Amino acid sequence: MAEKFIQEATKNAHGQFAAKAKEAGMSTKEFAEKHKHSKGKLGKQARLALTLMGMHHKGKTEEKKKTRSGKEVRKAMYGKED
């Protein structure tokens, strides 16, 4: 169940929340922030939208994820190799 919660939560969405935001003249994020405390279906959709937006991490590159070995750190600190 937990593995497929996104698929289950969004299986009937078909862009309905984004259409509501567009109709209101706002971005999806602005609309979600405005309605996250609303009751009913709109509030649930807003909270889900914010949750799913938070899961998307833009800008992570392989270079940022890469860790340096002890040898590379020593070379950078002392300017010499072992």
pLDDT digits (tens, 9 = 90+) for 2-27: 678 888 888 887 889 999 999 999 99
Choose among 37, 40, 39, 35: nearest CA to 18: 35
Q: Does 66 score more than 80 pLDDT?
A: no
Alpha-helical runs (H) found in the chain: 5-10, 16-23, 28-35, 40-55, 62-65, 70-78
- Top pLDDT among 3 and 1 is at 3
The answer to whether 64 touches 82, Cβ cutoff 8 Å, is no
Q: Does 63 score more than 70 pLDDT?
A: no
Instruction: Kindly report the pTM of this predicted structure.
Output: 0.61
Q: Is the four-CA dihedral 6, 9, 10, 16 of positive or negative sign? A: negative
**Tokens at residue 47, please?**
């909270």
Q: What's the confidence (pLDDT) of residue 26?
A: 94
